[in-house]
Amino acid sequence: MSRFIKHLSDFFAVTDDDDDFELPLDESGKLIRPIGTVRAVEHSFKTRSAGQGSPTGSPQQTEVLPLDDESRALLEIAKAVRDKAYAKYSGFHVGAVLVAASGQVYPGVNMENASYPAGLCAERAAFAAAITAGEREFSAIAIIGSDDDAPCYPCGICRQVMAEFCPPEFPVILSDGVYSLGSLLPHSFEL
């Protein structure tokens, strides 16, 4: 079992009533590549640009994939890490779990600061940890906010950071389903 996974066993202590929850690990102790089964099947991500099929130019509509067992497992990990967030000012705790193509997971939490712009979102914290470890390719990210039932959509800055490293079909797992990054950020900035 890798040192990182051993460390995660303490870090991701699940606090829910579900005592049967276990991280999906392979024989070597590495996290089984989440969302792999979803990516192996044909997805039905579809977007409709504002104005298409709507006389009022309604906001973009997105078809969302339902959560599967692997997606739910990642959300449980994000819930566990969320408790470590530093949200002294807003009280809004966010946990994120980024999965690298290597199968390694990188947690992140939001970190607020009295000087508000110095704060950091959970998603960017997870990406910073992964990039620091040398990762450059990613399989999925799961994000959970203070309310387990309400989807915690990533902010615009986090969406743009994801677009720097991930293709439009990159899965973004929220409490109500699996979105494609391209549907959440249809017009990312590029140089």
112 is catalytic: no
- Cβ partners under 8 Å of residue 105, min gap 6: 8, 31, 34, 77, 97, 98, 99
Sequence ranges of the domains in the chain: 3-184
Q: Tell me the C-alpha distance between 34 and 185, whole Å.
A: 22
Catalytic residue among 123, 137, 169, 190: 123
Q: How far apart are CA 175 and CA 161, in angstroms?
A: 21
Could you read off the pLDDT tens digit of each residue along the chain, which spans 191 residues?
Answer: 344 444 445 544 444 444 555 666 677 766 655 444 333 333 333 333 333 333 444 344 567 899 998 999 999 999 999 999 999 999 999 999 999 999 899 999 999 999 999 999 999 999 999 999 999 999 999 999 999 999 999 999 999 999 999 999 999 999 999 999 999 999 999 89
pTM over the 0.75 mark = no
Burial of 91 per CB tally in 10 Å (0-12, 13-18, 19+): exposed
Q: Is the backbone of residue 177 left (phi > 0), alpha (psi -120 to 50) or beta?
A: left
Reference 22, options 8, 35, 36; nearest CA is 8
* CATH number for region 3-184: 3.40.140.10
